[in-house]
Amino acid sequence: PLAVANRKKHEITLIANSLAPETVYFAEGKDAVVVFTNDLLDKQIIDKLADYGIRYIATRSVATNHIDRVAAAGRNIKVANVPHHSQNSTAEHTLAIALALNRKIIPAGLDTRNFDYSLDGLTNFNFHEKTVGIIGCGVIGKQVAQIFKGLGCHVMVNDIILNPSEAEFPLVSLEKLLATADIVSIHIPSNEENRYLVNKETIAKMKTGVMLLNTSGNDLVDISAVHSALKDKKIGYFGSSISEKDGELFFNTDHNDESKSIIKELRSLKNVILSPQQTFLTHEALQEIATQTIRNLDNWHLNKCTGKACACLNHCRKDEVILEKLALNNLL
């Protein structure tokens, strides 16, 4: 998709390996690097990139928490993301997990492969008339809400930014949502403010047997608390998309042997689905990501700001908290 979107406008070198201390030298002599969420651009990498002459970082994602933007601003490197993409594919993936959990599609499919057609343990519920709580009603959350509404669900949303006059669904407090919803689906940004939003305390406020869905960042969920709630049957179903490098984010503690054993146990539970981070993995979404990435490069080539895609700290989308940090570090 990137080559198609580029149309030979920019000289792009494709590297199979992730950006790391041992691969950063590939950037020497280039103007920009195009990265993804599995590339960790910490201060060490940023400094190396700057030393090699890199002036731009384009990430093929909405998230930018894998990039040390403080360090990038300090070295005058501009950053851009893909502000909106794959809302349809992410919303559909969320529904797919919900349906697969409820209908027990995975264990049933494994049984039939072994010529076991027993219906024992496969009883489920209708989504029709169930209450769905959407935490975060942005572009993706709104799409998920509309899909569940189409199934005949009662949908309510919680969003700290959404203007009540613009809400298409009942806008409620987080406490009411957690206490009322049969299904809770999380669609908020992965940042420090939202870190471990789902924890022991918030789980205690949920209905017993709730279905918890998270196709956003894994640092939004304290998986140890979820694991305990699954054992106590407080959470009836849990579905999440995770990536290979989410270990440190997925746990409120170090990624130790105990944490690994929790993941291993979760994978064995029939009421848990841990899918790869494939929410964006449709032909349409990939092309959309590639098109926006090339558009960012085009704007930089013309010495223009990337507009809504600008993730620089001191340009279009200022982040006051990190700007304060920059000032404290005497980088501004």
How confident is the model over 89-134, as pLDDT tens digits? 889 999 999 999 999 988 888 888 999 888 888 889 999 999 999 9
Q: Are both 128 and 189 inside the same structural domain? A: yes
Residue with more model confidence, 137 or 328: 137
**Percent of the chain whose pLDDT exceeds 70:** 89
Give residue 326's pLDDT.
44
Q: Are both 156 and 100 inside the same structural domain? A: yes
Last residue of a domain, one of 257, 276, 295: 276
Rounded Cα distance between 238 and 271, Å, is 7
Task: Point out the least confidently predicted range of 55-59, 118-122, 143-147, 245-249.
Answer: 245-249
8 A C-beta contact, residue 205 and residue 230? no
Give residue 129's pLDDT.
97
CA atoms within 13 A on the CB side of 293: 27
Q: Are both 134 and 96 inside the same structural domain? A: yes
Alpha carbon 142 to its chain centroid, in Å, reads 15
Q: What does the mean pLDDT of the chain come to? A: 86
Q: Residue 256 — very low, low, confident or very high, per pLDDT cuts 50/70/90?
A: low
Give residue 29's pLDDT.
92
Amino acid identity, residue 87?
A: Q
Give residue 8's pLDDT.
87
Rounded Cα distance between 289 and 311, Å, is 16
Q: Per-residue pLDDT for 327 more than 60?
A: no
Q: Per-residue pLDDT for 250 more than 90?
A: no
Q: Are both 298 and 262 inside the same structural domain? A: no
Q: Are both 177 and 322 inside the same structural domain? A: no
Most confident of 81-85, 185-189, 275-279: 185-189
pLDDT in tens, 136-181: 998 899 999 999 999 999 999 999 888 888 889 999 999 999 999 9
Q: Residue 267 — very low, low, confident or very high, per pLDDT cuts 50/70/90?
A: confident
Q: Are both 219 and 105 inside the same structural domain? A: yes
Q: Print the domain residue range for 201.
A: 87-276
Residue with more model confidence, 50 or 313: 50
Rounded Cα distance between 329 and 323, Å, is 10
pTM of the model: 0.77
**Percent of the chain whose pLDDT exceeds 90:** 55
| CATH number of the domain enclosing 55 | 3.40.50.720
Which strand (E) or helix (H) includes residue 131? strand 131-135
Q: Are both 248 and 173 inside the same structural domain? A: yes
Which strand (E) or helix (H) includes residue 154? strand 154-158
Q: Per-residue pLDDT for 328 more than 50?
A: no
Give residue 319's pLDDT.
46
Q: Are both 114 and 230 inside the same structural domain? A: yes
Rounded Cα distance between 321 and 86, Å, is 28
Residue with more model confidence, 94 or 279: 94
Task: Point out the least confidently predicted range of 169-183, 203-217, 250-264.
Answer: 250-264
Contacts of residues 195-199 at CB distance under 8 Å and 24 or more positions apart, as own/partner, are: 195/219, 195/220, 196/220, 196/221, 196/222, 196/252, 197/135, 197/221, 198/222, 198/225, 198/226, 199/225, 199/252
Q: Are both 13 and 131 inside the same structural domain? A: no
Q: Are both 153 and 272 inside the same structural domain? A: yes
Question: What mean pLDDT do residues 214-232 have?
Answer: 90
Give residue 300's pLDDT.
94
Q: Are both 263 and 295 inside the same structural domain? A: no
* Number of residues that make up the chain: 332
How many domains does the structure of the chain reveal?
2
Give residue 229's pLDDT.
96
Amino acid identity, residue 130?
A: K
Q: Are both 27 and 176 inside the same structural domain? A: no
